[in-house]
Amino acid sequence: MGINWLKYSAPQAFYPLAGKLIPWFSIVAALAIAVGLYIGLLVAPTDFQQGESYRIIFVHVPAAWMSMFLYVVMALWAGFGMGLNARLSFMMAQAIAPTGAMFTFLALLTGAMWGKPTWGAWWVWDARLTSELILLFQYAGVMLLRTSIDDLRRADRASGVFALVGVVNVPIIYFSVKWWNTLHQGASVSMTGGSKMAATMLTAMLLMTFGFWMYSMAVILSRSRCVILEREQLLSWNKSASTPEPVEVR
Amino acid sequence: MYWGSMSEFWAMGGYGLYVWTSYIVTALCLVWEVLALWRRRAAAAAENRGLL
């Protein structure tokens, strides 16, 4: 194909591309979440063990999956940034962190909402819960390191190294329900063993996950545009990009 | 459709508080993030205009 993908590694070329993609990701996200909510809340039958409280799964699991997935993607961008010395990579890592932190918070909060009726406790120091809480601290650490260092390049590297080292926690979270005898239930869906859920439940959960993923794409692209504007504001190219847009980038 | 009535739907078999808190807080977070990004972008754009 005649597209030179490498040119989009330059922030000034990436900025209008991201602007064009955001509406599409937003529309797909809204559709997937709407259908997912419809099936999850209105069509799916009740769970024979947990009653209606199980419906929290349709926000809890997608949020938890996104929290881990986004962390890995953030660390990969930071790694690319350090390996290729590409500033857009660090900008992407910077754009991902707040959304990842938000999904981590949501996974913990909806988990508490699910734990109270099923276990009788909002919180227990179980391996799954504890490692997910540590993930929240890791996101906080990545963001705090960035804001506490004035020199942008040093901030990029420090938070990038921190993010990369912290990746070890992601498999720990994922396999915690296997490695330790935890209160948290085992995986309902696994990459190797298929699903233990009814088809309608699984459909709703996968649709919500896809919706959250597309939502993340939209907000991360949107935040990356903010980051580009904030970080490159003294360069002349975005003189045209900041007012109305999308203006041709010369 | 799984539910017999609206009140049954809201009650969520007695788990309404937990289920709806989860959904509402999640929705609020997503909406808040989108609004915050709009504000941030407007501020970044305004700052650029002032500088250039």
**pLDDT digits over A186-243, tens only?**
888 776 667 777 889 999 999 999 999 999 999 999 999 999 999 887 555 555 555 5
ipTM surpassing 0.90: yes
C-beta atoms of B26 and A56 within 8 A: no
CB pairs under 8 A between A and B: 94
**pLDDT surpassing 90 at residue A88:** yes
Mean pLDDT across B26-45: 95
Q: Which residues of A are less than 8 Å from B19 in CB distance? A: 52-53, 55-56, 113
In this complex, is the C-beta atom of A238 within 8 Å of any C-beta atom belonging to chain B?
yes
Residue B28 in any domain: the answer is: yes
Of A110, A225, A239, the CB nearest to B41: A225
Q: Which residues of A are less than 8 Å from B15 in CB distance? A: 51-53, 55, 117
A225, closest residue in chain B (CA to CA): B41
Transcribe A147-175 into DSSP letters: HH-SSHHHHHHHHHHHHHHHTTHHHHHHH
Looking at the structure of chain B, the number of domains it has is: 1
Residue B5 in any domain: the answer is: no
- H or E stretch covering B31: helix B16-51
Residue B8 in any domain: the answer is: no
CA angle B43, B46, B47 (to 5 degrees): 85
Residue B3 in any domain: the answer is: no
CA gap B13, A234 in Å, rounded:
58
In this complex, is the C-beta atom of B13 within 8 Å of any C-beta atom belonging to chain A?
yes
Name every residue whose Cβ is closer than 8 Å to that of residue A197 and which is 6 or more positions away in sequence. A188, A189, A205
**pLDDT surpassing 50 at residue A20:** yes
| Residue A249 · residue A15 · CB < 8 Å | yes
> Which range of residues forms the domain containing residue B29?
17-51
- H or E stretch covering B11: helix B6-11
Q: Which CA distances in Å does A33 have to A60, A106, A247, B42?
A: 14, 16, 32, 27
Half-sphere exposure in the Cβ direction for B16 (13 Å, CA): 9
Pair of tokens at residue A202: 């699984």
Q: Which CA distances in Å does A51 have to A44, A76, A116, A205, B19?
A: 12, 40, 14, 17, 11
**pLDDT surpassing 50 at residue B52:** no
Instruction: Note the pTM of the prediction, 2 decimals.
Output: 0.90
Burial of A108 (0-12, 13-18, 19+ CB in 10 A): buried
Residue B31 in any domain: the answer is: yes
A26, closest residue in chain B (CA to CA): B34
**pLDDT surpassing 80 at residue B26:** yes
**Scanning the structure block, which residue is given the tokens 């700052």?**
B47
Confidence of residue A250 (pLDDT cuts 50, 70, 90): very low
Instruction: Enumerate the domain spans of chain A.
Output: 56-195+213-241
Pair of tokens at residue A217: 């794409």
R_g (Cα) of chain A, nearest Å: 20
In this complex, is the C-beta atom of A128 within 8 Å of any C-beta atom belonging to chain B?
no
Mean pLDDT across A115-132: 94
A242, closest residue in chain B (CA to CA): B45
C-beta atoms of B19 and A102 within 8 A: no
CA gap A11, A16 in Å, rounded:
9
Q: Which residues of B are less than 8 Å from A208 in CB distance? A: none
Residue B11 in any domain: the answer is: no
The per-residue pLDDT for A235 is 59
Confidence of residue A2 (pLDDT cuts 50, 70, 90): low
Mean pLDDT across A142-166: 95
Residue B26 in any domain: the answer is: yes
Q: How many other β-carbons are positioned within 10 Å of the β-carbon of residue A140?
A: 13
Q: Which residues of A are less than 8 Å from B29 in CB distance? A: 102, 105-106
Mean pLDDT across A71-95: 95
Q: How many other β-carbons are positioned within 10 Å of the β-carbon of residue A3?
A: 7
Q: Which CA distances in Å does B47 have to A112, A229, A242?
A: 41, 9, 9
Mean pLDDT across A18-35: 97
Half-sphere exposure in the Cβ direction for B14 (13 Å, CA): 5
In this complex, is the C-beta atom of B2 within 8 Å of any C-beta atom belonging to chain A?
yes
In this complex, is the C-beta atom of B23 within 8 Å of any C-beta atom belonging to chain A?
yes
Residue B29 in any domain: the answer is: yes
C-beta atoms of A226 and B44 within 8 A: yes
Q: Which residues of A are less than 8 Å from B22 in CB distance? A: 56, 59-60, 109-110, 113-114
- H or E stretch covering A25: helix A11-37
